[in-house]
Amino acid sequence: MKSKILILDIGMGNLGSIQNMLKKINCPSIISSDPEDIQSAEKVILPGVGSFDSVMKSIEALNIKELLEIQVIKNKIPILGICLGIQMFTKGSEEGLLPGLGWIDAKTIRFSFSGNQNLKIPHMGWNTTSLHKENLLFSKMHPDARFYFVHSYHILCQDSNDILTTTHYGYDFVSSIQKNNIYGTQFHPEKSHKYGMKIFENFTELC
C-alpha cells in the first residue's frame, strides 16, 4: 500500500522533479521541513544538491537534525537519500569539514583515478548498476536498467552488508545502500525515466 511521503525541503534539490515522479505513480507527497510534517510522515525522501557542508548547515539551521534522528533511528520510518542525500548519511565527507548524520558506517570520498585513466570528474550521465543483494528497492527492476548520475564524490562503506548496488566508473563504487530502514541512491531516480520511477514505486510500497 502506497503511503504519504515527505520530500524534505532543505533549500536545495530537485524537489519538484521528485514530486512529479511520485504523482505519476499516484503517490501523495508534500514538500516541507516543518517539524510537524516530519513527525507525521510515513516515509521521507532526502534530496541533496550542492556542497556537503552547506546541506549539513541547512539541517542545523532548520533545527530538525534531532527530530530526523528520532524518526529514522528510533521510529524506523523508511528514508531514501538521493545523491548528496546518501552522502549525508555517512560520518563525513572529503568535500567538507562538518560531520555527517552518521547513520551508516561510511565516509564520502572524491573520485580518484590512477594511471592513464582519462575520466572526467564529475561522473555525469547514464550508467548501470550491479546488484549485491536482493532488496525490495530494486524489486522487478528491468535487467538492463540504467540510471542518471551527476557527482564528484561517492560513499565508501565499511560494512559490505550495507551495499545494495555498485557501479563502474574507473573502478567500482557504491551506487546504492540499504541498512534496515535507511536507503540511498547515488544516482538521481527523478532523472532516470522509467527505471527511476520503478525505484520510487518500490520505495512507496515498503512497509
Strand runs labelled E in the chain: 5-8, 29-32, 43-48, 79-83, 106-110, 123-128, 130-131, 146-151, 153-157, 163-169, 171-179, 182-185
What is the distance of C-alpha 118 from the center of its chain? 28
Strand runs labelled E in 102-191: 106-110, 123-128, 130-131, 146-151, 153-157, 163-169, 171-179, 182-185
**In this structure, how many other beta carbons lie within 10 angstroms of the beta carbon of residue 177?**
27
- Coil, strand or helix at 35: helix
Closest CA to 49 of 61, 58, 62: 58
Closest CA to 145 of 100, 193, 180: 193
CA torsion through residues 143, 191, 87, 40, sign: negative
- 193-204 vs 15-24: helix axis angle to the nearest 10? 80
User: Among all residues, which ones are annotated catalytic?
Assistant: 83, 188, 190
Q: Which three cell numbers stand for residue 39?
A: 513527525
